[in-house]
Amino acid sequence: MVDRPYHRSRRGTRRTGWGLFERAWFGAVGDGTYRSSTTFVGGFGPLGLALGAATLAGSAVGNTSRKARARVDATETWRPFDRGHLFVSTHGFYLDTGPELLPFVHECVLRADLPAPATLELTCSMADGTQQSYVLTSWWAELVFLLWATRCNPHHPKLTNLGWLPRGFIDRLVANGYWESSPVPPLVDTPLELGR
């Protein structure tokens, strides 16, 4: 485990979970342009004409391939971005990618939802003023969501019924010692209420 001083970065912040993560970014890596290339090698006579036709055909195939790649790169889609250690705290979460420790306070998360187990889709307001959308995949995605929703969006529909929590989530909280510091106990009477 990486030992970083993230838990002391804000007064009253406590760690409530940590684990591995993978992050995907929504966007395009190109604008659809590509560099056309034409190579012509030829000569006189039948052999020269055949060589010229072959080089032109090769250039056409290469240009078609570059054009198709440029089209794929210009399409906005979820793209793998980075991975590392996720540290969940009472005031946000931190992504430790190795060279960088990226803090995300709950207030910078503009929107969050859980489209699948262990998958958190979120839109964040970044330090440079832009908004970025990410998909965070981690065993602690539900914990990040619950901490954010109870703090910043207490009327989120998912907080009215926790039946969507995946099997084993409560067990992970309890086994890792995070049950008491998580936002789940006030939302349910007992862990058994969720059908562990």
The answer to whether residue 116 sits within a structural domain is: yes
Q: Which domain holds residue 147?
A: 14-29+76-194
> What is the identity of the amino acid at 101?
L
- Please count the structural domains in the chain: 1
The pairs formed by 132-136 with CB atoms below 8 angstroms and a separation of 24 or more are: 132/25, 132/26, 133/25, 133/26, 134/23, 134/24, 134/25, 134/26, 134/81, 135/23, 135/24, 135/26, 135/78, 136/21, 136/22, 136/23, 136/86
Output the pLDDT for position 60.
65
Which two three-digit tokens encode residue 111? 């929107």
Give the neighbor-by-neighbor strand order of the sheet with 15-27: 101-105, 92-96, 77-89, 15-27, 131-137, 119-125, 109-116
The answer to whether residue 54 sits within a structural domain is: no
pLDDT digits (tens, 9 = 90+) for 144-178: 999 899 889 988 888 888 888 888 888 888 888 77
- Cα–Cα dist 118/142, whole Å: 6
The answer to whether residue 96 sits within a structural domain is: yes
CATH classification of the domain holding 102: 2.30.29.30
Output the pLDDT for position 1.
38
pLDDT digits (tens, 9 = 90+) for 29-52: 766 676 766 665 555 667 666 666
Cα 54 off chain centre by = 45
The answer to whether residue 47 sits within a structural domain is: no
Output the pLDDT for position 42.
55
The answer to whether residue 174 sits within a structural domain is: yes
The answer to whether residue 48 sits within a structural domain is: no
More confident site: 108 or 67: 108
Task: Tell me if 147 sits within 8 A of 88, measured CB to CB.
Answer: yes
Residue 57 has pLDDT above 90, yes or no: no
The answer to whether residue 50 sits within a structural domain is: no
